[in-house]
Amino acid sequence: MTTLSLGPLSLGGCTIRVAACAGLLLSLLAAPAIAQNVQRGAELSKPCAACHGADGNSIAPTFPRLAGQYEDYLLHALRSYRTGARKNAIMTAQIANLSEQDFRDLAAYYARLKGTLSTVRN
């Protein structure tokens, strides 16, 4: 077995393989578990346009603007409608048939849109 000498630290070949496998495992765990599909999110968002605007910037103050919101916030909001933590009959019905992946795709899509909110300075 080959031994790698690193000054006072000496590692055998087996230990190096274990360390390499552990590093690879950690890098995989750091990556998102499920990739988002922004194009699919755009398709899924079509029914949402009636209230939230075609570009995610609602013109009605009763409906929130989704464009430019943080992706994790949008994902949390969608999950909250599913669990009932957020109560809104329209949203509950709209998301009833959506999967977790659909939530991820929608959140990724709206997060990448340009929001029209701005700060007014007096």
Q: Which residue has the higher pLDDT, 57 or 10?
A: 57
pLDDT higher than threshold 90 for residue 28: no
- Residue 120 has a pLDDT of 66
Within 10 A of 43 (CB to CB), how many other CB atoms are there? 11
SS (H, E, C) the chain: CCEEEECCEEEEHHHHHHHHHHHHHHHHHHCCCCCCCHHHHHHHCHHHHHHHCCCCCCCCCCCCCCCCCCHHHHHHHHHHHHHCCCCCHHHHHHHCCCCHHHHHHHHHHHHHCCCCCCCCCC
- Residue 22 has a pLDDT of 57
